[in-house]
Chains A and B, each alone.
Chain A
Amino acid sequence: MTQPIPWLDGPLWPYLALLLFAVLPTEIWRWLAVAFARRIDADSPALEWVRCVATALLAGVVAKLIVSPPGALAAIPGALRVGALAVTLAIMAYDRRRVMFAVLAGEATLIGGGLLLV
């Protein structure tokens, strides 16, 4: 668990942390887009690279949540967690428009397996 920064700690710390380390680094790009909208080429190679890094980063977040899971998810065997992701991926590979179905099928695998095993 990450500890609060000592000299900023207090009852309002979680809100301050949210503003500084989550809202600011997210919102800044929307602001910059407003400031430079007319001068940025949305198809430039630099932005394509950014897109690739963001995709890899998000996939990385998914992998980390599955490999070192939070709370109750840790009670589910690792093979079942990976299996649920595999079911979702397989459905998406078959038909990319079935987002809701893919999510529900992955969830059903995880919860169903959990009910049988845990």
Chain B
Amino acid sequence: MTVSADWTSTRVALAGLRDALSFPAWAVGFGLVGIGSLARDVGYSVDLAVLSTILVWAGPSQVIFFASIAAGAAWSAIAIAIGFASLRFLPMTVAILPLLRRPGQGVWEQLFLAHFVAVTAWSEGLRRLPHVPDNQRVPYFLGFAGTCMTVSSIGTFSGYYLVGALPIPFAAGLLCLTPIFFLASLSAGIRHRGDVAAMALGLLLAPLCDRFIGGGFDLIVAGVIGGSIAFVIGRRAAKPA
């Protein structure tokens, strides 16, 4: 949808809402249904599950949180794993902020905008924002990302109640939504051989480390070893032979 420079902020935000509902919001919301199921599985309340979607706003962090609690990992290990998994937000946010900059913008507005940075809102934002007039980008982005967050909150809420009410194969399907969705979106973001290696090594090393390293630090060890090898492979591939 094209946005005109003379529209009111409300109309621009509604255009963002419409674009989000055209598919992206459903994709994220769908992916976060599984979070509700995982939260219920560890015995946490439904408001905590929905709150995690709004406040954390990062599917991977939420999955690590609930899945690690279920697995009995140490709290420090959970925080470190989530920190590592979320480090990607640093370069992502750095890349999108210049697009959303406007004269007289304070730190608080930037912090608020940065909170909405997550895989979908970010990749879609980078793709769509350049076509939106400078002065309309903030309302457009908030309309877009806010819609993604609202749909996801409803998804998380539904997942919480659905998992207990459904027959086992369907409940299993809900719990499996998250890993399947992650795998698909990781593959969608692959740019070069290093990314393929990182994915493959992560898949292989995590179950191995799980067997030999205790306390929930297995995930971090698998990520650092697999990621570092993949980094070297990616650098070699990028160099002209």
> Which residues of A come within 8 Å of B, CB atoms?
1-2, 5, 14-15, 17-34, 36-37, 40, 42, 45, 47-73, 75-76, 81, 84-85, 88-89, 92-93, 96-97, 99-100, 102-103, 106-107, 110-111, 114-115, 118
Contact yes or no, B226 A60, CB < 8 A = yes
Q: Which residues of A contact B37 (CB under 8 A)?
A: 71
Can you list 26 A-B contacts with CB-CB less than 8 angstroms, sorted by A residue number? A15-B48, A17-B75, A18-B65, A21-B65, A21-B78, A27-B55, A29-B83, A31-B111, A52-B194, A53-B228, A54-B87, A56-B226, A58-B60, A59-B201, A61-B64, A61-B67, A62-B203, A65-B175, A67-B207, A70-B67, A84-B176, A99-B27, A100-B27, A103-B31, A103-B180, A114-B172
New contact pairs (4) apart from A2-B74, A58-B85, A76-B176, CB-CB < 8 Å: A2-B72, A30-B114, A56-B199, A75-B168
CA gap between A48 and B235 in the complex, in Å:
9
- Smallest Cβ-Cβ distance to A35: which chain B residue: B107
CA gap between A32 and B86 in the complex, in Å:
12
Contact yes or no, B91 A47, CB < 8 A = yes
B residues 210-225 near A (Cβ < 8 Å) are 210, 216, 219-220, 222-225
Assuming the contacts A33-B114, A58-B202, asked whether A66 and B179 have C-beta atoms less than 8 A apart, the reply is: yes
CA gap between A30 and B117 in the complex, in Å:
8
Shortest Cβ distance from A2 into chain B, in angstroms?
5
B13 interface contact, C-beta 8 A:
no
CA gap between A66 and B34 in the complex, in Å:
14
Which of these, A34, A57, A70, A102, contacts B223 with CB under 8 Å? A57
B45 interface contact, C-beta 8 A:
yes
Contact yes or no, B203 A59, CB < 8 A = yes
Assuming the contacts A26-B56, A54-B223, A61-B206, asked whether A115 and B72 have C-beta atoms less than 8 A apart, the reply is: no
Q: Which residues of A contact B64 (CB under 8 A)?
A: 61
Q: Which residues of B contact A100 (CB under 8 A)?
A: 23, 27, 30
Question: How many residue pairs between the two chains, A and B, have CB atoms under 8 Å in the bound complex?
Answer: 326
CA gap between A97 and B190 in the complex, in Å:
11
Q: Label chain B's interface by main secondary structure.
A: helix
> Which residues of B come within 8 Å of A, CB atoms?
23, 27, 30-31, 37-38, 41-42, 44-45, 48, 51-52, 55-58, 60-65, 67-75, 78-95, 97-98, 107, 110-111, 114-115, 117, 163, 168-173, 175-188, 190, 194-195, 198-207, 209-210, 216, 219-220, 222-228, 230-231, 234-235
Assuming the contacts A30-B114, A33-B94, asked whether A60 and B205 have C-beta atoms less than 8 A apart, the reply is: yes
The 6 closest A-B pairs by CB, nearest first: A59-B202, A114-B169, A53-B227, A60-B206, A57-B223, A33-B93
Which of these, A20, A50, A57, contacts B220 with CB under 8 Å? A57
Contact yes or no, B83 A28, CB < 8 A = yes
CA gap between A2 and B200 in the complex, in Å:
29
Assuming the contacts A40-B91, A57-B219, asked whether A70 and B38 have C-beta atoms less than 8 A apart, the reply is: yes
